[in-house]
Copies of this chain bind each other. A is one copy, B any other.
């Protein structure tokens, strides 16, 4: 037993402390692959009391803690890179306190997103926040990063479904925030402060989440678009006629990456540089077909297909959802930016020209939740280029991209969060004054800077 493990054993069963090399490697990293994992231990608490004791121990002994769920993050927020103790919530997966009248349920931080979705369906209800990592990502991480995903255009962000939170602050206090109330104007809403705080204010132990009514049967459409600038016109044409559950887009290069794995087939025979994927309630099918015809007449769409069964709908979704996994071997450099949607056409045109000029030899894969103004721009690493060289290229271009983004008053992290990867770009979106207040808040909740140090706030931080 290492010295550290012995100290941790004061507050947690030694059987739930790991220091073997495999565990340190596995729990020290997330879906980014830029950072060499360097955790010093991994602990698996099972109760609120154990989490609180861990934080109090960490505070007394100045240990840094990294909260850990499914480690599907894309900004390095759950990476342990400097000898931190990883606090994994994977042994806290209880779903309880279902309230059919209020339509809420309590989830421990380690509950997997898909488990909650299935639980809701079994009650005749629906948990609407959804994204490709649903099978691994956990509720605690979803809240800490205010996860978005593919249904935001209809159902909002994860924040909108959090009715209550139990957290342990960096000072070791347990806070029970909001406790499921719909209306509660009793001072600053700390719940909203914790949503998106990326583990830097406190550890999320459990959450009371709202559930939606069961959705109506849905249809999925994939449409072929000859040009990127038409995608937003297509969005507006549909949105004017019907309520959309989702409106995604992806480039032919993205589709190629998915098709290359052989799991799904091309959806529309007409090959165009871009595609839109739409989902809507089945009752809106006539309106959707009318919108499609109007877009074809306008020259914005060249072809399209609509799902005839749930199986086909699922296959169409895979064309969009499998993109991230398909390009993982190319260690893509991910941009996850957003602008106000009325500024998106000009922003996209400027960005497209910039990337074509600056990355003439790299594959650039575009996709994203364009109905929310959110674009994922992935630059793929040439297979013969090492990661550091590639990252150097990308960071140089990144500063050009962010110059454009700042002019459009956009967000340098629409949904992935800041973590380690985007930390030094925070000033693109947040002013120096704002960052000063972010630091001040962190100091209030985590006075010794023991929680996820180095994440979210730029390096000038003294903690």
Residue contact B339 to A181, C-beta cutoff 8 Å: yes
Determine whether A76 belongs to the interface, using a CB cutoff of 8 Å to chain B.
Answer: no
Determine whether A457 belongs to the interface, using a CB cutoff of 8 Å to chain B.
Answer: yes
Residues of B within 8 A of A135 (CB): none
User: Which residue of chain B has its CB nearest to the CB of A422?
Assistant: B186
Determine whether A176 belongs to the interface, using a CB cutoff of 8 Å to chain B.
Answer: yes
Interface of chain A residues 380 through 426 with chain B (CB within 8 A): 409-418, 422, 426
Given A99-B340, A431-B175, A440-B444: A193 touches B196 (CB 8 Å cut-off): no
Residue contact A187 to B426, C-beta cutoff 8 Å: yes
Given A101-B341, A340-B102, A340-B180: A185 touches B434 (CB 8 Å cut-off): no
A100-B239 Cα distance, complex, nearest whole Å: 13
Determine whether A94 belongs to the interface, using a CB cutoff of 8 Å to chain B.
Answer: no
Residues of B within 8 A of A33 (CB): none
Residues of B within 8 A of A369 (CB): 183
Residue contact B185 to A193, C-beta cutoff 8 Å: no
Given A177-B434, A190-B434: A182 touches B152 (CB 8 Å cut-off): yes
A444-B436 Cα distance, complex, nearest whole Å: 9
A176-B429 Cα distance, complex, nearest whole Å: 10
Interface of chain A residues 427 through 458 with chain B (CB within 8 A): 429-431, 433-438, 440-441, 443-445, 456-457
User: Which residue of chain B has its CB nearest to the CB of A100?
Assistant: B342
Q: What distance in Å separates the Cβ of A82 from its nearest Cβ neighbour in chain B?
A: 21
Residue contact B185 to A146, C-beta cutoff 8 Å: yes
Given A102-B342, A175-B437: A189 touches B195 (CB 8 Å cut-off): yes
Given A99-B342, A190-B434, A433-B174: A373 touches B182 (CB 8 Å cut-off): yes
Among B102, B145, B188, B195, which residue has its beta carbon within 8 angstroms of that of A196?
B188
Residue contact B184 to A429, C-beta cutoff 8 Å: yes
A415-B197 Cα distance, complex, nearest whole Å: 26
User: Which residue of chain B has its CB nearest to the CB of A195?
Assistant: B189
Given A102-B341, A173-B433, A342-B101: A414 touches B184 (CB 8 Å cut-off): yes
Among B159, B187, B201, B445, which residue has its beta carbon within 8 angstroms of that of A430?
B187
Residues of B within 8 A of A183 (CB): 148, 152, 157, 338, 369, 372-374, 411, 414-415
Residue among A145, A197, A440, A457 with max Cβ neighbours from chain B (10 Å): A440
Residues of B within 8 A of A373 (CB): 181-183
Each complex incorporates copies of this chain amounting to 2
Residue contact A184 to B411, C-beta cutoff 8 Å: yes
A292-B414 Cα distance, complex, nearest whole Å: 45
A101-B372 Cα distance, complex, nearest whole Å: 12
Binary contact readout A72-112 vs B (1 if CB under 8 angstroms, 0 otherwise): 00000000000000000000000000011110100000000
Residue contact B101 to A429, C-beta cutoff 8 Å: no
Determine whether A179 belongs to the interface, using a CB cutoff of 8 Å to chain B.
Answer: yes
Residues of B within 8 A of A169 (CB): 433, 437
Q: What distance in Å separates the Cβ of A15 from its nearest Cβ neighbour in chain B?
A: 31
Residues of B within 8 A of A102 (CB): 340-342
A411-B99 Cα distance, complex, nearest whole Å: 18
Residues of B within 8 A of A430 (CB): 186-187
A179-B408 Cα distance, complex, nearest whole Å: 10
User: Which residue of chain B has its CB nearest to the CB of A425?
Assistant: B186
Residues of B within 8 A of A413 (CB): 184-186
Residue among A197, A372, A434, A438 with max Cβ neighbours from chain B (10 Å): A434
A438-B418 Cα distance, complex, nearest whole Å: 25
Residue contact B145 to A182, C-beta cutoff 8 Å: no
Given A101-B341, A411-B181, A437-B169: A193 touches B187 (CB 8 Å cut-off): no
Determine whether A236 belongs to the interface, using a CB cutoff of 8 Å to chain B.
Answer: yes
User: Which residue of chain B has its CB nearest to the CB of A104?
Assistant: B340
Residue contact A338 to B182, C-beta cutoff 8 Å: yes
Determine whether A330 belongs to the interface, using a CB cutoff of 8 Å to chain B.
Answer: no
Determine whether A154 belongs to the interface, using a CB cutoff of 8 Å to chain B.
Answer: no
Q: What distance in Å separates the Cβ of A169 from its nearest Cβ neighbour in chain B?
A: 7
The 5 A-B pairs with the shortest beta carbon distances in the complex, nearest first, are A192-B192, A440-B444, A101-B342, A184-B411, A183-B414
22 examples of A-B residue contacts, CB within 8 angstroms: A99-B342, A146-B185, A152-B182, A169-B433, A174-B433, A180-B409, A181-B411, A182-B372, A183-B372, A184-B414, A185-B413, A185-B415, A186-B411, A186-B413, A186-B418, A186-B422, A186-B429, A187-B435, A188-B201, A188-B438, A190-B434, A192-B192
